[in-house]
Copies of this chain bind each other. A is one copy, B any other.
Amino acid sequence: MSLTLGELAARTGTEPHGDAALSIAGVCTLQDGRPDCISFLANPRYRRYLDDTRAGAVILAAADLAACPVPALVSSNPYATYARVATLLTAVETPPPGVHPTAVVGDDCHIDPTASIGPLCVIGARVAIGAGAVIGPGCVLERDVVIGANTRLVAGVVLCHGVSIGRDCLFHPGVVVGSDGFGIAKDAGRWIKVPQLGSVYIGDDVEIGANTTVDRGALEDTVIADGVKLDNQIQIAHNVQVGAHTAVAGCVGISGSARIGAHCMLAGGVGVVGHLEIADHTVVTGMSMVTKSITEPGVNSSGLAVLPSEQWNRIVARLRRLDDMARRLQALERKLAGKDA
């Protein structure tokens, strides 16, 4: 699909500079620019590629316009504009509607005739699937699952019984939603299973990355609000609540009954302890651990960056004697104060 620079400007509410009739067929990077494609400049580290770009046009901020050797779209948010432009220029392939003959579908399902159920899916009884939804190959939907309009499960996704998913969601391969939470009670040295009787409620416009897992609630539901974006390999435990428009990067683990606010950002590898609350607009940097509620928006850290191991090992050896060091410092202070006295 091709659009002119002027059409792209009109459809993204941006300002065209240069030849508005220029035909744009796709997107490219600045450094590997192609004359029929549009690139973007959002991260300053790539500005050095602007001068020599062979891209047909570039999406950029007003401040970079003067340095741009080709036509441009000026945007106050070049990366978001790029996202919209790339979406406009990319044809999404959707499989034909209907139920593939190799899919196994249970009784009393309500599958919209515009929805597509791929090959070798298993759909349990009483499942409801909205208009335009796409259930890719090899997915399993247990009984009583509800899927909103235009939601897509790419392939090999498992949704356990009763899970409810909103519209316009996108779940990548290997996602599991609604598996039992880790509910166990100790009794005379053995673990008894605590039945997991809640479900999972996921809002609209939620994206979930490959092999991420979201457990069902113990008594009430696990809830993922509208617009939440979850990367790959994340673990969301039972009864967690994730607020609207929060983004969570890969390999994060959120323990049971934690309540994450709206508009939060958790970086990769973060761990969140259970039964706490994180305020809206909280940021947690990579590989940090949250053990208490965070009541104020802000940026929080406990991750440590690598050093050469020899250096790191010396520091760790000192760290292990830090208590002793503190006491020695205090002793010196007292001694010196005594001298002064």
Contact check: which of B185, B207, B285, B335 meets A77 at CB < 8 Å?
B185
Which of A3-11, A17-25, A62-70, A290-298 interfaces with chain B? A290-298
B contact residues around A241 at 8 Å (CB): none
Query: Is A86 in contact with B336, judged by CB distance below 8 angstroms?
Result: no
**Alpha-carbon gap, A284 to B305, bound state (A):** 11
Query: Is B142 in contact with A193, judged by CB distance below 8 angstroms?
Result: no
Query: Is A191 in contact with B247, judged by CB distance below 8 angstroms?
Result: yes
Query: Is A287 in contact with B289, judged by CB distance below 8 angstroms?
Result: yes
B contact residues around A316 at 8 Å (CB): 304-305
Decide yes or no whether A323 CB sits under 8 A from chain B.
Answer: yes
Per-residue contact bits, chain A 66-100, to B (CB 8 Å; 1 contact, 0 not): 00000000000101101110110010010000001
Query: Is A245 in contact with B312, judged by CB distance below 8 angstroms?
Result: no
How many interface residues does chain A have, given as a range? 35 or more
Chain B min CB distance to A159 (Å): 9
Query: Is A186 in contact with B306, judged by CB distance below 8 angstroms?
Result: no
Query: Is B174 in contact with A211, judged by CB distance below 8 angstroms?
Result: yes
**Alpha-carbon gap, A336 to B331, bound state (A):** 11
Query: Is A312 in contact with B306, judged by CB distance below 8 angstroms?
Result: no
Decide yes or no whether A27 CB sits under 8 A from chain B.
Answer: yes
B contact residues around A298 at 8 Å (CB): 308-309
Contact check: which of B137, B193, B197 meets A140 at CB < 8 Å?
B137
- With CB as the reference atom, state the residue of chain B lying closest to A326: B318
Known: A185-B79, A304-B289. A156 touches B154 (CB 8 A): no
Known: A220-B29, A302-B304, A329-B329. A233 touches B213 (CB 8 A): yes
B contact residues around A231 at 8 Å (CB): 182, 235, 237
Query: Is B329 in contact with A319, judged by CB distance below 8 angstroms?
Result: no
Contact check: which of B79, B170, B180, B213 meets A174 at CB < 8 Å?
B213
B contact residues around A80 at 8 Å (CB): 185-187, 192
B contact residues around A215 at 8 Å (CB): 209-210, 232
Query: Is A329 in contact with B325, judged by CB distance below 8 angstroms?
Result: yes
B contact residues around A273 at 8 Å (CB): 268, 286
Chain B min CB distance to A339 (Å): 8
A213-B232, A292-B305 given; name 5 further pairs at CB < 8 Å.
A286-B291, A288-B306, A291-B305, A300-B312, A332-B336
- Can you list 21 residue pairs at the A/B interface with Cβ under 8 Å? A86-B194, A90-B195, A120-B122, A122-B138, A138-B138, A140-B156, A154-B158, A154-B160, A154-B179, A170-B180, A170-B193, A172-B176, A179-B232, A182-B249, A184-B207, A237-B250, A286-B291, A299-B310, A302-B312, A325-B325, A328-B329
Binding site for B on A (CB under 8 A): 26-29, 32, 45, 77, 79-80, 82-84, 86-87, 90, 93, 100, 102, 104, 118-120, 122, 136-138, 140, 142-143, 154-156, 158, 160, 170, 172-174, 176, 179-180, 182-187, 189-195, 197, 207, 209-211, 213, 215, 219-220, 227, 229, 231-233, 235, 237, 245, 247, 249-251, 253, 255, 263, 268-269, 271, 273, 275, 284-292, 294, 298-316, 318-323, 325-326, 328-329, 332-333, 335-336
Nearest first, the 3 A-B pairs at minimum CB distance are A80-B187, A179-B210, A122-B137
